[in-house]
Amino acid sequence: MNPQLKSIDAFTVIGYQLKANLQEIEEQQLGKKTLHRLLENQSLVQQRVGEEIYLIQLYDMKPNFNPNVDRFTQVIGYKVAEPKDVPAEMIVHTVPSHQYVMATHRGLEAELYKTYDALYGTWMGKQPYQPAGYDFEVWDERYKPDEATNEIDVYVAIR
């Protein structure tokens, strides 16, 4: 893993939102169910920019936040050029222009926690940056969650 600093312009996503902790997401397969629902309804999302799917995670910036126990918001959707004609039950979420530390996770999605631990723990522990309360993943043609060849770009907003 080779973390890099990147500045990203604001972008907008249309998709589904859920609020849960990692344990609930895993046990109830909430992420997989939401992704499946998005794929079933992808034709309803107009003005899509590419076929990539974005997983945006928004955290309460409270002391001792633990994503395994504390609930947070996930948005799973498609990047759009303009948020219009939003399908029923979907939401619009705009990610602001920001600076990020980015790394590509390589390997099974079940081991993605290692990349997050490296970015939030090891990397931030050696840098003058703090987390800004959200991160996102980009799932493109390399996204094969159950295969060793899986790749996911992870972006952690920093301040």
Residue pLDDT, tens place only, 83-138: 989 999 999 999 999 999 999 999 999 999 999 999 999 999 999 999 999 999 99
Confidence at residue 34, expressed as pLDDT on a 0 to 100 scale: 97
To which H or E segment does residue 33 belong? helix 30-40
Residue 97 makes CB contacts below 8 A (sequence gap 6+) with: 7, 8, 9, 10
Q: How far apart are CA 38 and CA 53, in angstroms?
A: 9
- Residue with structure tokens 């303009």? 82
Q: What fold does the segment set 4-158 form as a domain?
A: Multidrug-efflux Transporter 1 Regulator Bmrr; Chain A (3.20.80)
pLDDT higher than threshold 90 for residue 58: yes
Report pTM.
Answer: 0.96
Confidence at residue 26, expressed as pLDDT on a 0 to 100 scale: 93
| pLDDT over 90 percentage in the chain | 93
